[in-house]
């Protein structure tokens, strides 16, 4: 039987906020001028229990407002719980709101000593770590200027450098590994990996599911202040995908027109897109001779979702209703990265798929299926129905950036695509001028 050594133990944690309709009600209650309850109770956390064992990397995921940051602030002592217990065994360094605890009137150097002292280090211990902190931050002589003069980039670099270079026993990270430029982010991830190799305890909150999948031993899912599940990264990420589109506990793999919303009740979706997270700022146009009336992305289990695991087979499906007779319409799909660069795409013309000549009331359903080989990250999907009418290229209906696909990856290579190389290395040596291959 495995012996557990808890570094963090949380038992039956509640955090309740009093919400008042009017500020005067708060004042009246504080002054004891009424016995009537003038507030509404809002629970940011409700009966949450969890254990992080020494040497583990545990992730916490959930939608906005699920209580992720709240539980970290309680664990680090920034907030007091309404009920429950928190036990910490080890010295904590926390990357919550970067720079929390910095004094804007102090210089960078003075803030290094201030933060180190708050964590419990002596001046001599901070002296010994100072150079590694300055090297990591790499902001030059600005470290001798007041922090209020820093750019946002310099500020987060110094804050991260202080937090991660003080040799904590427990590191708590809240959405902090995506600060600064790409080179600084790379440096941060290398440091994070060093911590794991050294067997340090890490509690990690992020919306970056690829990082959660890559680094975490276990993952905890929170939703509306409650703990929904705990387990391996893949299992909990699959649960989270369903929570995002209100399809938790979906049953069997779906087929056309019978994709289930879930909840264990077999409720059918009126439209596929109802199971998707859509872009609220939709850019849709065309001449009205056809309309894209439905669409979705489906993972390899038949689940409608915006999240796909790298290496899995997935499908994008679109349904087009025609209002006039159209000859050989072209149904298209494209992927852009988050800054709008078109990465890849295809259409029925490229794929040599005959779409015929649909007339008024006809519906064409296009299904694009492939293995996801894009690197982990966020991609924007555009759909289109175009063609040639009287010799002119015509847009019947086009939807730009209508939804996103989050690709979750545990291994990324260089560039946008993983070439799926079969890579081997053989070792040999020269003996008496002859190359000898070693087993």
* pLDDT given for residue 242 in this prediction: 80
pLDDT at site 339: 83
The verdict on 106 and 74 lying in the same domain is yes
Indicate whether 105 belongs to any domain.
yes
Domain that holds residue 345: 264-408
**Residues 226 and 312 grouped into a single domain:** no
Residues 237 and 269 in one domain: no
In this prediction, residue 370 carries a pLDDT of 94
Integer Cα distance of 357 and 347 in angstroms: 17
In a domain, 320, yes or no: yes
The Cα 259–Cα 300 span in angstroms is 13
Residue 143 covered by a domain: yes
**CATH number assigned to the domain comprising residue 337:** 2.70.50.60
pLDDT at 95: 73
Residue 369 lies in a domain: yes
Residues 218 and 281 in one domain: no
In this prediction, residue 78 carries a pLDDT of: 85
- Asked if residue 217 and residue 119 are part of one domain, the reply reads yes
What pLDDT is attached to residue 260? Answer: 38
Could you read off the pLDDT tens digit of each residue along the chain, which spans 439 residues? 455 789 999 999 999 998 888 888 787 777 777 777 877 889 999 999 999 999 999 999 999 889 998 999 999 888 999 999 999 998 888 777 655 668 889 999 999 998 888 777 888 989 999 999 999 888 989 999 999 998 877 887 888 888 778 778 898 888 765 556 667 777 777 887 888 888 899 998 988 888 888 889 999 999 999 999 999 998 998 888 888 777 665 343 333 333 433 333 334 568 999 999 999 888 999 999 999 999 999 999 999 999 999 999 999 999 999 999 999 999 999 999 988 889 999 999 999 999 999 999 999 999 999 999 999 999 999 999 999 998 899 999 999 999 999 999 988 888 888 888 776 567 667 777 787 777 6
Whole-angstrom distance, CA of residue 136 vs CA of residue 255: 52
pTM: 0.73
* Domain boundary pick from 241, 256, 281: 241
Q: Residue 89 sits in a domain of what CATH number?
A: 3.40.50.300
* pLDDT, position 184: 76
Rounded Cα distance, 377 and 208, in Å = 8
One domain for residues 221 and 312: no
In this structure, the answer to whether residues 233 and 296 fall within a common structural domain is: no
Residue 434 in domain: no
Residue 41 has what pLDDT? 87
Report the pLDDT value the prediction gives residue 259, as an integer from 0 to 100.
42
Domain count of the fold of the chain: 2
Q: 343 and 237 in one domain? A: no
Tell whether 140 and 227 lie within a shared domain. yes
Answer yes or no: is 435 within a domain: no
Same domain? For 237 and 277 the reply is no
């Amino acid at each position: 039987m495995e012996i557990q050594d808890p570094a963090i133990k949380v038992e039956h944690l509640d955090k309740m906020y009093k919400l008042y309709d009017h500020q005067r009600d708060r004042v009246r209650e504080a002054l004891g001028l009424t016995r009537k309850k003038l507030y509404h109770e809002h629970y940011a956390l409700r009966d949450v229990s969890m254990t992080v064992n020494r040497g583990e990397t545990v992730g916490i995921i959930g939608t906005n407002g699920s209580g992720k940051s709240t539980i970290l602030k309680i664990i680090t002592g920034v907030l007091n719980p309404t009920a429950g217990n928190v036990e910490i065994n080890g010295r904590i360094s926390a990357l919550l709101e970067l720079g929390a605890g910095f004094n804007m009137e102090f210089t960078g150097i003075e803030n290094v000593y201030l933060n180190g002292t708050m964590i419990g280090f002596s001046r001599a211990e901070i002296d010994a770590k100072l150079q590694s902190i300055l090297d990591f931050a790499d902001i030059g002589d600005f470290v001798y200027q007041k922090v209020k003069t820093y750019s946002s980039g310099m500020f987060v670099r110094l804050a991260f450098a202080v937090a991660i270079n003080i040799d904590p026993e427990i590191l708590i990270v809240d959405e902090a590994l995506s600060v600064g430029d790409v080179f600084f982010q790379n440096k941060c991830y290398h440091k994070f990996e060093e911590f794991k190799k050294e067997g340090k305890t890490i509690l990690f909150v992020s919306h970056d599911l690829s990082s959660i999948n890559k680094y975490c031993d276990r993952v905890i899912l929170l939703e509306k202040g409650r703990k929904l599940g705990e387990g391996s990264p893949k299992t909990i990420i699959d649960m989270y995908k369903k929570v995002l589109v209100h399809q938790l506990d979906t049953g069997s793999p779906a087929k056309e027109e019978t994709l289930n919303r879930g909840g264990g009740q077999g409720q059918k979706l009126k439209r596929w897109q109802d199971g998707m997270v859509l872009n609220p700022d939709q850019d849709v146009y065309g001449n009205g001779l056809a309309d894209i009336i439905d669409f979705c992305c489906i993972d390899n289990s038949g689940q409608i979702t915006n999240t796909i695991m790298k290496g899995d087979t997935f499908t994008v499906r679109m349904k087009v209703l025609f209002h006039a007779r159209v000859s050989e319409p072209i149904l298209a799909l494209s992927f852009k990265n988050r800054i709008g660069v078109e990465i890849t795409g295809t259409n029925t013309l490229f794929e040599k798929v005959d779409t015929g000549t649909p007339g008024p009331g006809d519906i064409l359903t296009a299904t694009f299926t492939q293995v996801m080989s894009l690197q982990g990250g966020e991609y924007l999907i555009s759909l289109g129905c175009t063609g040639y009418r009287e010799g002119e290229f015509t847009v019947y209906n086009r939807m730009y950036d209508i939804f996103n696909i989050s690709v979750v990856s545990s291994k990324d290579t260089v560039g946008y695509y993983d070439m799926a190389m079969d890579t081997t290395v053989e070792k040999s040596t020269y003996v008496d001028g002859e190359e000898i291959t070693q087993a």
